Amino acid sequence: MAEIAIKKKRPKNLDLPTIRLPLPGILSILHRISGAVLFLLLPVLLWLFQQSLASPESYASAKAVMDNFLVKTVLWGLIWLYMHHFCAGIRYLLLDLHKGIDLESARLSSKIVFAVSIALTLVIGVKVIC
């Protein structure tokens, strides 16, 4: 005889601030956000790069803009966004190859992505911005 499947009513929590995501979930959301922000700010970065190459006067004005503390802070953030997006992208490529799919490996690779992206941000930021 066929057994009747009893559907268990699961509670629905639609209050987003109270949802506690695991680390791989946070990594996934930050990967999407970093990609969107990098895409939206790409024209600004290209414009600034073009200004720095146009003439010596425009280079001086671009350098003056880059010396602003707020702009340097934004650049540190952009470097982290890029490094995070790059490292998380490599992680997702490995997941597509079925490497590190189990829960413990996914948590470990998420921690590695955060650690490596922060370390690369510090190294590149000190080299480029300071």
pLDDT of residue 62: 87
Residue 18 in any domain: the answer is: no
* Radius of gyration of the chain measured on its C-alpha atoms: 21
Residue 44 in any domain: the answer is: yes
pLDDT of residue 1: 47
Kindly give the confidence (pLDDT) of every residue in the chain, 130 residues in length, as a single tens digit, with 9 standing for 90 and above: 455 666 677 777 777 788 888 999 999 999 999 999 999 999 988 988 898 899 999 999 988 888 899 999 999 999 999 999 999 999 999 999 999 999 999 999 999 999 999 999 999 999 988 8
Strands (E) in the chain, as ranges, are none
pTM, two decimals, is 0.81
Indicate the number of domains in the chain. 1
Range of the domain at 62: 23-128
CA-closest candidate to residue 85, choices 130, 40, 21: 40
